């Protein structure tokens, strides 16, 4: 469980988070929305310990992340997986190398271990057939082709999947997605939404998603938090979001309506 308690964060004169309090229960899909520059990424960075709050606390499974020593912080970070905006693959690395880079950096060099984890996660995101569905020869062929591909040879949707496979390596309890569907066409966006929902269910993973895409929110979220000017203007079950009388929420919903109709 993630608990954010009264987090304030400023950069110089600029107040970005103005006392944010929220709880992300285990196993849920939690979407964070709000207009550009409202503080979504800063909030996530405070949650994972990349930024320190000026005031307030963040607890990950009961541990105050900003009070941990280096070693303990690394241990807690192993519970997290990140899917960065625009996939952030390394262009000069193969698919295989991109997926296992985190393990490699943790000092794991055993090729069999690395291969197995890459196969497990690339299968989970649908880039490889499930072993039981095809012959061994067919599987080996698909794996050989995929593992040595370079990011430039992949479509946007495939790159996104490779990015998700990388985040799943090491079986994290929490996975953070920063605008996973931005820049993708509607069909690919929907596939990515389905993937996020499938993984959440299959691995009982807690998913935290920053998005501008209200279509995704209504499709996959259990909970929504909306930030405006550093304050939470909504935090609760997605079903209650439409009923919120907060003018900022209403305005956001209005825009969404005009966009889809």
Ligand X SMILES: Nc1ncnc2c1ncn2[C@@H]1O[C@H](COP(=O)(O)OP(=O)(O)OP(=O)(O)O)[C@@H](O)[C@H]1O
Q: Residues interacting with ligand X, by CB under 6 A?
A: 11, 16, 34, 36-42
Output the smallest distance, CB 223 to ligand X, in A: 18
Alpha-carbon span 37 to 11, nearest angstrom = 13
Cα–Cα dist 74/86, whole Å: 25
Residue 17 to residue 227: CA distance in whole angstroms = 9
**37 interface partner picked from Mg ion, ligand X, none, CB below 5 to 8 A per type:** ligand X
Residue 14 pairs with which residues in a beta bridge?
11
State the binding string over 153-192 for Mg ion (x if CB under 5 A, else -). ----------------------------------------
Site for Mg ion in 33-62 (CB under 5 A): 41
Distance in Å, CB of 4 to ligand X, minimum? 14
Pick what 247 binds: Mg ion, ligand X, none; C-beta below 5 to 8 Å, kind-dependent: none
At 37, which helix (H) or strand (E)? none
Taking the least distance from each CB to ligand X, the nearer of 31 and 119 is: 31
* Helical H segments across the chain, by residue range: 40-48, 70-77, 95-105, 111-124, 136-147, 156-168, 186-203, 214-220, 238-241, 247-260
Residue 36 binding partner per list ligand X, Mg ion, none, with a CB distance cut-off of 5 to 8 Å that depends on partner kind: ligand X
11 binds, among ligand X, Mg ion, none (CB under 5 to 8 A by kind): ligand X
| 103 CB-near residues (< 8 Å, 6+ apart) | 113, 114, 117, 169, 170
Which residue, 33 or 122, has its beta carbon nearer to ligand X? 33
Instruction: Output 17 or 169, the one with its CB closest to ligand X.
Output: 17
151 binds, among ligand X, Mg ion, none (CB under 5 to 8 A by kind): none
Is residue 250 helix, strand or coil? Answer: helix
Query: Which of 53, 25, 10, 33 has the alpha carbon at shortest distance from 232?
Result: 33
Distance separating alpha carbons of residues 26 and 180, to the nearest angstrom? 21
Shortest separation between residue 14's beta carbon and ligand X, angstroms: 6
Q: Which is nearer to ligand X, 85 or 123 (CB)?
A: 85
Nearer to ligand X, 36 or 110 (CB): 36
Residues in touch with Mg ion (CB under 5 A): 41
């Amino acid at each position: 469980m993630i608990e954010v308690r009264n987090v304030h964060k400023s950069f110089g004169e600029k107040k970005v988070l103005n006392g944010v309090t929220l709880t992300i229960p285990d196993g849920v899909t939690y979407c964070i929305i709000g207009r550009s520059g409202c503080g979504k990424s800063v909030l996530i960075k405070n949650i994972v310990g990349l930024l320190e709050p000026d005031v307030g606390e963040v607890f990950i499974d009961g541990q105050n992340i900003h009070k941990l020593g280096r070693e303990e912080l690394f241990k807690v970070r192993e519970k997290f997986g990140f899917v960065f905006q625009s996939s952030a693959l390394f262009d000069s690395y193969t698919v295989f190398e991109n997926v296992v880079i985190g393990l490699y950096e943790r000092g794991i060099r055993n090729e069999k271990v690395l291969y197995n984890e890459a196969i497990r996660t690339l299968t989970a995101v649908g880039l490889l057939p499930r072993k039981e569905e095809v012959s061994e020869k067919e599987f080996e062929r698909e794996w050989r082709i995929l593992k040595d591909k370079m990011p430039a040879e992949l479509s946007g949707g495939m790159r996104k999947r490779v990015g998700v496979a990388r985040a799943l390596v090491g079986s994290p309890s929490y996975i953070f997605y920063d605008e996973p569907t931005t820049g993708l066409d509607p069909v690919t966006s929907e596939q990515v939404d389905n993937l996020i929902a499938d993984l959440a269910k299959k691995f009982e993973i807690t998913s935290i998603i920053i998005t501008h895409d209200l279509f995704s929110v209504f499709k996959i979220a259990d909970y929504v938090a909306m930030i405006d000017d550093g304050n939470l203007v909504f935090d609760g079950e997605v079903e209650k979001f439409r009923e919120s009388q907060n003018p900022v929420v209403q305005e956001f919903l209005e825009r969404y309506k005009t966009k889809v109709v």
